[in-house]
Structure 1
């Protein structure tokens, strides 16, 4: 299985975390299930392989469109793949989708909306170009040019709300949200409203997502041991072990110890 990441250009770096290519080298003889915790990012996906399905708390089992945009995931979800995997995607920073496309992000949480519904027929032309491109670098370049065109006519402006969202992600959710609100906003209610529109969830909930996302990444990469609980509890700002376990289980559906032993994140399938 091939999984490659590509960095964005300097102009798009404030909005794009990375591009990625995910392909299977052989036809999958049996269905493959991959789980993902909420990551704190949104994404654009272009599928040139066989269709796959998504299971999450909101939709128990739905097919994904060939090309779609996904908002914030508020809980863990699973992908069910079969046949040939061929996906190129864009991982977008917390508020980038709103800036580039003007989407009220509270409408996008846990959703996968066909790209055509958002950008019109341009999405079909873009997908055709990606199908014709013969290399990973070629596909990434096509998407990059599309996003640069959108950046030249942004639907929103980068402001202090975007700054706070990016800072929460950078600090893994471990920072005093109330102090930030007091420092940057006269009206906290205004901040809450802007954040929900640009990111899709409240700032406090987003901080919780960011913490769990980082913890899951550590566990999936086998960089964490059960005996390290006390260190993690202190490092990630949990009150105690009970709070840590309850929070982790709420987002992933598994206790931390079970997640370490039996997660099926993509990292497990990559060599």
Structure 2
């Protein structure tokens, strides 16, 4: 969602991932503020970690903590709404990691309590500052992406495949199913979830249910029609109205009624846009 800006002041493009990289990245995103004023946007949660390069003016993140991205940053899996402001001249290239790819790429997870961090601090190196300078020399986003992919070849590890069998149905316990199929203990799977994905299976199941609520036809009615919230509560297994309201406020910072009023102004991308 944009605030106080004209669409012509912003350039944004989404780039698909080559087939050989589709287990690592969901997509790439390029954005540029070509105007003379700040552009403020809202990013909704999708439980994906990001690698963000800024090749222009600083970008301000306002979330659980404040952070300014001057060159490059990585994020923890985005679990709550994040607001960010692009100053004039900000130029972003964003890589969206898929599943355990962040852990496979960096060999570690984001420290607890950190929403954003410089990747060089994460791995105790200067390589991403150097990479930023190399990427900045390319004018076109496609060239930046190709260079980044060639760079990533030397670092990305093979997937363990441990989470490939995770059930998508909310009624199943993914930890129990994976443990049975892998021959590992449920406790071991729980630890690997947190270590490699950055969140617990319980957190993911809760978020998956909320995503289904947002995509439900019950919420997408003609203007003026009222949502039957009690039907939504029953259909998606919430205890009561306060339970549903808590999820709305936790993930997107809005009450259900305010979400309905403002949904036409929201975009719901899986990445910075």
TM normalised by structure 2 equals 0.78
- Contact preservation (8 Å) 1:33, 1:79: yes
Larger Rg: 2
Q: Does 1:197 align with 2:195?
A: yes
Which consecutive unaligned segments of at least 5 residues does structure 2 have? 1-9
Listed as ranges, the matches of 1:14-53 within 5 Å are 14-24=23-33, 26-29=34-37, 31-53=38-60
Q: 1:59-96 CA distances to partner (integer Å, 9 max, x unpaired)?
A: 1x332241011111232221122212310010001311
- Contact preservation (8 Å) 1:40, 1:94: no
Q: Does 1:117 align with 2:121?
A: yes
**Partner in structure 2 of residue 183 of structure 1:** 180
**Partner in structure 2 of residue 246 of structure 1:** 246
**Partner in structure 1 of residue 132 of structure 2:** 127
C-alpha root-mean-square deviation of aligned residues, in Å?
2.9
Which consecutive unaligned segments of at least 5 residues does structure 1 have? none
CA distance in 2, matches of 1:90, 1:157: 18
CA distance in 2, matches of 1:36, 1:250: 14
**Partner in structure 2 of residue 98 of structure 1:** 103
Q: Does 1:56 align with 2:60?
A: no
Shift of 1:41: 0.5
Match of 2:17 among 8, 11, 15: 8
Shift of 1:245: 2.3
Give the number of aligned pairs.
Answer: 250
Q: Secondary structure at the match of 1:50?
A: coil
Q: Does 1:144 align with 2:149?
A: yes
Shift of 1:51: 0.4
CA distance in 2, matches of 1:54, 1:42: 15
Shift of 1:157: 4.0
Higher helix residue share? 1
Which segments of structure 1 move beyond 4 Å, counting only runs of 4 or more?
A: 213-216, 228-237, 239-242, 263-268
Shift of 1:242: 4.2
